[in-house]
Amino acid sequence: MYICVVCGYDQLDYPQYEDGFAMQTICPCCGFQSGFDDASLEPFTIEEYRVKWIKLGSPLFSSSVSKPKGLN
């Protein structure tokens, strides 16, 4: 299992980055997609995406997951 660089969700099936390349992996917890959210026309840094997600109330991207432990 792999850990999301944004929210810490530790059940990703695939890495978000491998050998410095974005793998287009979407986190089912926060919705961050490596290679998209950090490379779009208005890209976010990982920290900016995290701050934005938290300001929105840390909504779950998928109803099939639980928030990571320790996330308030």
**Mean pLDDT score across all residues of the chain:** 90
pLDDT tens sequence across 14-47: 999 999 999 999 999 999 999 999 888 888 999 9
- Prediction pTM value: 0.85
In the chain, what is the straight-line distance between the N-terminal and C-terminal CA atoms, in Å? Answer: 22
Report residue 64's pLDDT band, with 50, 70 and 90 as the boundaries: confident
Which one-letter amino acid corresponds to residue 16?
Q
Q: How far apart are CA 24 and CA 14, in angstroms?
A: 9
Cβ atoms of residues 7 and 30 within 8 Å? yes
Could you give the angle at the alpha carbon of 28 between the alpha carbons of 64 and 70, nearest 5°? Answer: 85
